[in-house]
Structure 1
Amino acid sequence: MSIFQIRQKTSGAVLWTGSADDERTALDAMAREAGYADYAALPDGLRSAGFEASKLDLIS
């Protein structure tokens, strides 16, 4: 698993940070934490604003 950070494209606000297998599962996890079944269940208005999923490279 990797660490991903999800940001809203228009404002740059960080919406979610956590571990996921890939970008798609990170978007699903963000949506579930917000109370939706998955990313596809988010209202069209939210999805149309756009999200940016970034894989964080954490080096210790």
Structure 2
Amino acid sequence: MSIFQIRQTKSGAVLWTGAAADERTALDAMAREAGYPDFSALPDTVRANGIEAAKLDLIS
């Protein structure tokens, strides 16, 4: 598992941060936490502003 951060590209707002196996799983987890079954179920208005998933490389 890796840590991902999901941001809205236009505003830079962080929408979700958490552990996921890959980018697709992270996007689905963010959507589920917002009450949707998966990323594809998010309203077009949310996805229209652009969403990016970044893998955070945390070094201890």
For the aligned pair, the TM-score class normalised by the smaller chain equals over 0.9
Structure 2 residue runs without a partner (length 5+)? none
Tell me how large the CA RMSD over aligned residues is: 0.5
TM (norm. structure 2) is: 0.96
After TM superposition, give the deviation of residue 26 of structure 1 in Å: 0.3
Identity of matched residues, %: 78
Structure 1 runs (4+) deviating above 3 angstroms are none
Q: Deviations over 1:1-59 (max 9, x none)?
A: 10000000010001100000100000000000000000000011111111010000011
What's the counterpart of residue 9 of structure 1? 9
TM (norm. structure 1) is: 0.96
Structure 1 residue runs without a partner (length 5+)? none
Aligned partner of 1:30: which letter? M
Aligned length: 60
What's the counterpart of residue 28 of structure 1? 28
